[in-house]
Structure 1
Amino acid sequence: MTDDARRDEPFKRLFFALNCPPVQRKAIAQWRGELGLRAGKPVPADNFHLTLLFLGAVPLAQINEVCEAAGKVRTPAEPLRIALDRLQVWHRAGILSLAPEQAPPALLRLVYALEQAMLPFGFEESPREFRPHLTLARDYRTEAPEATTPPEFFLRAERFALFESHKGRYRILQDWPLN
């Protein structure tokens, strides 16, 4: 199939992620509010998540195959617990985010397993280095604000999910247990 034909196919913008539970979203949004941000565009709390693997434009005809492959991924034997204890700015990408000081090995193994499962589909030409984070604001072009209370959040995930990005909103298409 040519690139032009592929571009004309109907598609969805997809990514794998760990969802942020509603109680945690509320706590993080409240903490972010206390930062008094004067720059960037805050990400809606409903969109808080930790991306595992960005797929990009996936043809509708391939989504079932992607889900089948994801369902075969070997996952950790227990829920993941990820500390979000570092506030950081990615200047090149223009984002303010929460990230773990140290990524848990089980999280890194899950991401690697997903990358391997998605290789046959050829979604990304050049894989990016995985840097776990939860985006707080986009178009952020200044230094990290001073936090009066340091970030001490723990994202606990029992499932990973395939999300669709559509008009600035994210929705789960399918999810799988982490045990």
Structure 2
Amino acid sequence: MNDESREPFKRLFFALGCGAELRRDIGQWRGALRLRSGRPVPAENFHLTLMFLGAVDIARIADLCTAAGNVRTPGKRVTVVLDRLDVWRRAGVLVLGAEEAPAALLRLVYELEQAMLPFGVQDKPKEYRPHLTLARDYWAPVPESPTAPEFFLRAERFTLFESHKGRYRALAEWPLIAAQ
């Protein structure tokens, strides 16, 4: 039996994943920022969080997945334009955010939040701000960028991820596009 199977809880979150090409492009763009502060997030971990669940009892994951599978989705691919570099001072993170959140994304987040209410995973409501974390423990000002960010995250599914020792593993995913 490995250590992971003895853990009664898993750290979970719902997110839109990034394709390999987008991860590479954002990683290269971040490299051009020449950051002198913070810990860069590995490019393979790039994602756009929809909802952070925190520590979830492993016995509840199947029910949580059933509820997520019943979420009303947009019925189409969701495209998020990541076009704003920002520092979230309270969290100490450098983020690539969206100047404008698409309505389909906001509806998906709302539907997920509603579906997760019975599980008690959302303790206090807060405004959803779509973002991709570039660096943690970042306390410097917003860095100068040689080129303005404009990345298009196009998602056809949303995913339940587990965070374990700095690595993210997909546990389940659901299509955003209705089956034909």
TM above 0.5, yes or no, is yes
1:130 matches 2:105: no
Where do 4+ consecutive residues of structure 1 move more than 3 Å?
Answer: none
- CA distance in 2 between counterparts of 1:128 and 1:166 reads 25
Percent identity, aligned pairs only, is 67
Identify the range of structure 1 (110-119 vs 126-135) with the bigger mean alpha-carbon deviation: 126-135
Alignment partner of 1:18: what SS? Answer: strand
Letter in 1 for 2:23: R
Report deviation, 1:123. 1.3
Is 1:54 the counterpart of 2:52? The answer is yes
SS in 2 for 1:170: strand
SS in 1 for 2:113: helix
> What letter matches 1:51 in structure 2?
T
Q: 2:69 maps to which residue?
A: 71
Q: Are 1:159 and 2:128 matched, yes or no?
A: no
Measured against aligned partners, the alpha-carbon deviations of 1:2-60 in whole angstroms (never above 9, x if no partner) come to xxxxxxx7010000000011110000000000000000000000000000000001101
Gaps of 5+ in 1: 1-8
**Mapped partners of 1:156, 1:124: distance in 2:** 26
Matches within 5 A, 1:1-179: 10-179=8-177
Q: Tell me the TM-score normalized by structure 2.
A: 0.94
Aligned partner letter, 1:139? D
**1:127 Cα deviation after fit:** 2.6
Higher alpha-carbon deviation: 122-131 or 147-156: 122-131
Number of matched residues? Answer: 172
SS state of the match for residue 142, structure 1? coil
TM-score by length of 1: 0.94
* Contact 2:23–2:44 (CA under 8 A) maintained in structure 1: yes
- Aligned-residue Cα RMSD (Å) equals 1.1
Contact 2:96 2:131 in 1 (8 A): yes
Unaligned runs of 5+ in 2: 1-6
Aligned-partner SS, 2:127? coil
- CA deviations over 1:87-143 (Å, ceiling 9, x no partner): 000011000010110000000000000000000000132133211100000000010
Is residue 116–residue 122 contact of structure 2 (8 Å, CA) maintained in 1? no
Q: Residue 116 of structure 1 aligns to a residue in which SS?
A: helix
